[in-house]
Amino acid sequence: MAVIRLSLARMRQHPFSACGPDWKSRRSWLTMLSASLLLIAGLALVGQGGWIHAKALLAQHLLEGAFSQTIATGQPVKPWPWADTWPVARIEAARLGDSAIVLKGASGEALAFGPGHLDGTPQAGEAGTAVYAAHRDTHFAFLAHVREGDEIRVTRDDGRMFSYHVTGMTVVRWDQPGIDPDAFGHSLVLTTCWPFGAIQPGPLRFLVHAQLMG
């Protein structure tokens, strides 16, 4: 009994002694394991970001082919068999040399592959305000470098091309964009999340406003 009491007393004084004499090595091993898991998680996030960009780039190659066929045939052509959307336009920033194929609709799934033409807004060239949206870190990353006076070209799926000149930029809340699709004139709005370079989503949107040239 005295031996048992002595053993319990030692365990109370040194609570980790019950783990055996190599607790320090185990603690070191656990520390290394935790660091390794954090490293793997970090690499996974980096890889995920790389995959998002790779997917966006690959999708644009497929969309280019589908858009060319759409113009040639006059019929909507899906970029892949299971797609629930199709190309409706090409947007080009003349000075910057950037371009992207636009999909019908602006659902989250569509925006993973390209800019989307917001339903309920007119096509480019028509009266009112045509609105196109895309992610800030992929297809509309170039909006961070747009300046007033820049030319934005939009080629529709019927082959007609319209040129707009940028008149200004604004930052607004997503639920208060102040865009009237039925406004007088022939306007264009390109919109993406703001600020550029942010990782987490936020309530602000960056709008590029443009007017039809000629």
Q: How confident is the model at residue 61 (pLDDT cuts 50, 70, 90)?
A: confident
What are residue 43's phi and psi, to 5 degrees? Answer: -65, -35
- Please tell me the least confidently modeled range out of 22-26, 101-105, 147-151: 22-26
Query: What pLDDT score does 59 carry?
Result: 78
Asked whether residue 22 carries a pLDDT value surpassing 50, the answer given is no
pTM listed for this prediction: 0.74
Q: How far apart are the first and last CA of the chain?
A: 102
Which pLDDT tens digit goes with each residue over 104-161? 998 888 898 999 999 999 999 999 999 999 999 999 999 999 999 999 999 999 999 9
Strand residue runs (E) in the chain:
87-93, 98-104, 116-117, 128-133, 151-156, 161-173, 186-193, 204-212
Please state the CATH superfamily assignment of the domain spanning residues 51-212 in this structure: Sortase (2.40.260.10)
Query: What pLDDT score does 60 carry?
Result: 86
Q: How confident is the model at residue 214 (pLDDT cuts 50, 70, 90)?
A: confident
Looking at mean pLDDT, say which of 47-51, 56-60, 94-98 comes out highest: 94-98
The one-letter amino acid code at 41 reads A
- CB atoms near residue 88 (< 10 Å): 22
Q: Measured between alpha carbons, how far is 58 from 48 in angstroms, rounded to an integer?
A: 15
Q: How far is it between the farthest Cα atoms of the chain?
A: 102
Q: Measured between alpha carbons, how far is 104 from 2 in angstroms, rounded to an integer?
A: 83
